[in-house]
Amino acid sequence: MDKKTILDYETVDIDLEKKELIIIDQTLLPGKTEIIRLGTAKQMWDAIYLLQVRGAPAIGVFAAMGLYILATQIETDNYVIFYNEFKLQRDYLDSARPTAVNLHWALNRMDRLVQSMENEPVSDILEALKNECLAIKQEDINVCKQIGEYGLSLVKPGDGILTHCNAGQLATCKYGTATAPIYLGHERGYNFRVFADETRPLLQGARLTAYELQSAGVDVTLICDNMSGMVMRNGWVQAVFVGCDRVAANGDTANKIGTSVVAAVAKRYNVPFYVCAPTSTIDMNTPNGAGIRIEQRKPEEVTDMWYKQKMAPEGVKVFNPAFDVTDNDLITAIVTEYGIARAPYTESLKEIFDRKNAK
Provide the annotated active-site residues: 245
- Count CB-CB contacts under 10 A for residue 154: 17
The answer to whether residues 217 and 194 touch, using CB atoms and an 8 Å cutoff, is no
Closest C-alpha to 6, from 221, 212, 218, 222: 212
What Cα–Cα distance (Å) separates residue 160 from each residue in 12, 56, 190, 320?
30, 25, 11, 30
Give the DSSP H or E segment for 33: none
DSSP annotation string for 170-238: GGSSSS-STTHHHHHHHHTT---EEEEE--TTTTHIIIIIHHHHHHTT-EEEEE-GGGHHHHHHTT--S
The answer to whether residues 12 and 65 touch, using CB atoms and an 8 Å cutoff, is yes
Instruction: Compute CA 359 distance to the chain's CA centroid, rounded to the nearest angstrom.
Output: 24
The contacts of residue 289 (CB under 8 Å, 6+ apart) are 248, 250, 252, 253, 254, 325, 326, 327
Closest C-alpha to 151, from 270, 214, 241: 241
The answer to whether residues 226 and 260 touch, using CB atoms and an 8 Å cutoff, is no
> What CA–CA distance (Å, rounded) separates 280 from 136?
11
The length of the chain is 359
> What CA–CA distance (Å, rounded) separates 355 from 358?
5
